[in-house]
Amino acid sequence: AHFTWHGNGLLAAFSSDWVVLGSGPDDRWLVLYFTKTIATPEGVDVIARIPELSPEDRGEVLRLLRTDAFLKQKSGGIVWFSRPPR
């Protein structure tokens, strides 16, 4: 899957292409690659439907980042953030 993000308001001059490069069971998590903008470098994000991934899901994400040649090159490191449940 691919989409192009376009900024609004002050960010209207910015756009970035995003590509889904991997997903977990039942799409609980996705690994996304995005292109650079004038203000941000290219990068890799991991997003999830749940506030915090299980140790097994984190292991699967790390396995994907280490074994996929493109992702290995693009993901220099990973920082895990979690959002409190609503």
Average pLDDT over residues 8-34: 92
Q: pTM of the entire structure?
A: 0.81
Average pLDDT over residues 60-73: 90
Q: What is the pLDDT of residue 36?
A: 92
The residue among 11 and 76 whose pLDDT is bigger is 11
pLDDT digits (tens, 9 = 90+) for 68-82: 899 988 887 777 776
CB-CB contact of 71 with 64 (8 Å): yes
Q: What is the pLDDT of residue 24?
A: 94
The CA distances from residue 37 to 10, 50, 70, in Å, are: 14, 28, 19
